[in-house]
Amino acid sequence: DQQVKQNSPSLSVQEGRISILNCDYTNSMFDYFLWYKKYPAEGPTFLISISSIKDKNEDGRFTVFLNKSAKHLSLHIVPSQPGDSAVYFCAASVAGAGSYQLTFGKGTKLSVIP
Amino acid sequence: GAGVSQSPSNKVTEKGKDVELRCDPISGHTALYWYRQRLGQGLEFLIYFQGNSAPDKSGLPSDRFSAERTGESVSTLTIQRTQQEDSAVYLCASSPSWKTQYFGPGTRLLVL
């Protein structure tokens, strides 16, 4: 039973355009969400997060949107740059549940075309 | 500052052998996690350490897997009698709080 789903395995975007990566979750207990970026042969790098009390969090070119009623979040990258090409993982946790372990999606490979 | 480090970076072993993977967390981080990522999959939680509290072992897939951590320092993940399905990237993460986890580069384990 996959609790965090990234239904698009890959996405290609032209440089300068917007990249939108989507993530759905099924566990209504999740209340903290994160996006990680991963380059080949490296560990995931934290990108941006959002608490369930918010519906938007912005950091530079990266914005995360959370729609709790739809159990959906998305990551917007504007403008997209070739260096953004990587695998993006959506992750969720239950704050206050003890270990705060992260439940990850399978990832979306973003390719930004120059 | 120094990030999370893991060793070895790559490990090839024969089925049935034991392997030990090491993680050095970021200094001062009280929480330490182990995850694994099998090919084409997301990261799976294995085990969590927080200070001197009893670890959360709920993600360990079998009793062949065990992990230790001394205080708030180094952790080792041991896999006994390795099987081919244990082949994966094993990732360690540390955290100063409950919010953000910082990952190491991982150990790529291949069981032949």
pLDDT in tens, B6-33: 999 999 999 999 999 999 999 989 899 9
- CB contact under 8 Å between A89 and B42, yes or no, is yes
CA A9 from centroid of its chain's CA atoms = 13
Of A86, A110, A95, residue with least CA distance to A10 = A110
Residue A98's pLDDT band (boundaries 50, 70, 90)?
A: low
CA distances (Å), origin B99, targets A51, A93, A105, A113, B109:
10, 9, 18, 33, 28
Q: pLDDT tens digit string along A62-78?
A: 999 999 999 999 999 99
Measured between beta carbons, the chain B residues lying within 8 angstroms of A102 are 33, 35, 43, 45, 101
Give A68: exposed, middle or buried? Use CB within 10 Å, 0-12, 13-18, 19+.
middle
Question: Band of the pLDDT at A96, cuts 50, 70, 90?
Answer: low
Q: Which residue has the higher pLDDT, B70 or A104?
A: A104
Q: Specify the pLDDT at position A97.
A: 60
Reply yes or no: is the peptide bond before residue A9 cis, omega within 30 of 0: no
**Interior angle at CA B37, CA A33 and CA B110, nearest 5:** 165
Whether residue B45 and residue A105 make contact (CB cut-off 8 A), yes or no, is no
CB B76 within 8 A of CB B22: yes
Chain A residues with beta carbon closer than 8 angstroms to that of B39: none
| Structure token digits, residue B18 | 């034991």
List A23's β-bridge partners, or say none.
A73
Q: Which chain A residues are closer than 8 Å to B4 by Cβ?
A: 43
Task: List residues of chain A with CB under 8 Å from any CB of chain B.
Answer: 4, 6, 32, 34, 36, 41-46, 49, 89, 91, 93, 95, 98-107
Taking one residue from A and the other from B, the number of pairs with CB-CB distance under 8 angstroms is 61
How confident is the model at residue A25, as a pLDDT?
97
Across B58-82, average pLDDT: 93
Local confidence band at B54 (pLDDT 50, 70, 90 cut-offs): confident
Whole-number pLDDT of residue B71:
78
Here the tokens at position B1 are 């500052």
List of chain B residues whose C-beta atoms are within 8 Å of the C-beta of residue A108? none
Residue B98 confidence (pLDDT) above 70: no
Arithmetic mean of pLDDT over chain A: 93
Percent of chain A residues past pLDDT 70, beyond the cut: 96
Give B48's strand partners.
B33, B56
Residue in A closest to B59 by C-alpha: A101
pLDDT at B45: 92
**pLDDT confidence of residue A50:** 95
Give residue A14's identity as a one-letter amino acid code: Q
**A22-52 as b/e: b if 16+ CB within 10 A:** bbbbeeeebbbbbbbbbeeeebbebbbbbeb
Q: Which of the residues A102, A106, A108, A109 would you substitute to probe the B interface, choosing the one with the greatest number of B C-beta atoms within 10 Å?
A: A102
Q: Is the pLDDT of residue A95 over 90?
A: no
Mutate: best of B4, B36, B43, partner A, most A CBs <10 A: B43
Full DSSP string of A56-99: EEEETTEEEEEETTTTEEEEEESS--GGG-EEEEEEEE-TTSSS
pLDDT in tens, A44-66: 999 999 999 999 999 999 999 99
- Which has the higher per-residue pLDDT, B72 or B24? B24
Side chain identity at residue A8, one-letter code: S
The pLDDT value recorded for residue A101 is: 85
Average pLDDT over residues A21-26: 97
